[in-house]
Amino acid sequence: MFEYLVGQHSDNFMVTESGLHQDRLNHPINISIVVPFYRGEEFLPRLAESIMASYLASPGNLSFELIVVVDSIESDTVYLSSMLHQITGNNDNVFLLIIKNDLNLGVAWSRMIGNSLSTGTFTTFIDQDDYVGLPYFSVLERHLSGDFDFFLLNGYIEFEKQKLHRPVFYYHPRLTFGKIARVNYLITPGLLIFNRKRISAEFRQLSAKHPGSDDWACYLQLLTNPSLKYKYLKERLVHYVVHDTNYHQDKSNFIISQIRTIQYFRRLCPGNFAVKIKLSSLQFRLKRHLSMIKLSALTLSDISGFLSFIFIELFILPNLIWLIWSRRLAMHNSRMV
């Protein structure tokens, strides 16, 4: 189903899935960075350059693999491979893996594919239009530990047009199911780094079921397990870039996906009435928002057609029925006479 194009150092070669894993098993990898790619030629170089700049500014004790899952059929993997090799250079601790989907599968499936092929002890998912700060690897070297299930990072929200930025978190955020259900302040998956051995299955299980809100569904799934341990890193390491092309193009389908996610978790938590009340309230607000979107999308012809239907239903049709019934009653009375 997929074409595997692997680049290690300066060599490009085609491999099978088994060969892909075998080659990297000989080199233990600390962290896998999975990047879903869709027509992101203008963004990917900045992300790759920021990753390498951070790595070169660190002591270099972490090995990492950059896994780019190309989901745009028209994208040239040879060009992407050449560009990424030029940025990453020859480094024994840096591995590059480019996978191209045969079909446009979407970001959720692309994350799942990259996750299933990753070999690092830890895994993170960074969007193609985001990037990391210079201290990224230095901070991770000090804090990454197998004692935790996942790590929550801080970062900046960058408004590209206004050339402004602000911190994602001003204080230590409390991660609870109820809070993330009401307001998902984990605005980009790059804010989380997962211990693959413990919780990597969450993305594999839920991504396909909840496209559009797959990351939100995975966060909620994690927080249904109160025994999971996480560590918050207050340093601002990830830059989430806000621009014209990173909004959901189809808001209706996105909200429908959120509603289905809520319904899934309502069934998952049958005994927790407080959580069910919160989810029910959120579901009501989302359905109301969906109704407003559909109403605002109506054209003039749709509105005139609807008004014509109401006019026929409320005025013409009842009067027509009354007229027919009256005439039949008059005919019946005349026969009686």
- Partners of 7 in the β-ladder: 12, 96
Using the predicted structure, report yes or no on whether residue 14 has a pLDDT greater than 70.
no
Per-residue pLDDT at 66 exceeds 90: yes
Which residue type sits at 77?
A: T
pLDDT band at 54 (very low <50, low <70, confident <90, very high): very high
Parallel/antiparallel/unpaired status of strands 131-132 and 31-37: unpaired
pLDDT band at 19; cut points 50, 70, 90: very low
pTM, 2 dp: 0.76
Do 214 and 106 contact (CB within 8 A), yes or no?
Answer: no
Q: Pick the residue with more confidence: 249 or 44?
A: 44
User: Does residue 137 carry a pLDDT above 90?
Assistant: yes
Q: How far, in Å, CA of 1 to CA of 281, rounded?
A: 41
Q: Is 39 left (phi over 0), alpha (psi -120 to 50) or beta?
A: left
User: Reduced to 3 states, what is the DSSP secondary structure of residue 152?
Assistant: strand
Q: Please state, as a whole number, how many other Cβ atoms lie within 10 Å of the Cβ of residue 44.
A: 21
Q: Which residues pair with 70 in a beta bridge?
A: 37, 100
Which range has highest mean pLDDT (15-29, 129-143, 197-211)?
Answer: 129-143
Q: Provide the 8-state DSSP code for 57.
A: H
Q: What does the alpha-carbon distance between residue 283 and residue 184 come to, in Å, rounded to a whole number?
A: 14
What are the strands, taking DSSP E only, across the chain? 2-8, 11-14, 31-37, 64-70, 94-101, 122-125, 131-132, 150-159, 164-167, 192-195, 230-242
How many angstroms separate the CA atoms of 49 and 43, rounded?
Answer: 10
Two tokens, residue 87: 């940025």
One-letter-per-residue 3-state SS of 107-135: HHHHHHHHHHHCCCCEEEECCCCCEECCC
The tens digit of pLDDT for each residue in 276-329 reads 666 777 777 777 766 765 555 545 555 565 566 555 556 666 666 777 777 776
CATH fold of 2-247, please? Spore Coat Polysaccharide Biosynthesis Protein SpsA; Chain A (3.90.550)
Whether 126 and 237 have beta carbons less than 8 Å apart is answered as no
Give CB contacts under 8 A, 24+ apart, made by 7-16. 7/81, 7/84, 7/85, 7/96, 7/97, 7/98, 8/95, 8/96, 9/90, 9/91, 10/85, 10/90, 12/78, 12/81, 12/85
d(CA 101, CA 284): 37
Nearest residue to 205 (alpha-carbon basis) of 104, 115, 100: 115
Show the tokens assigned to 48.
């790759």
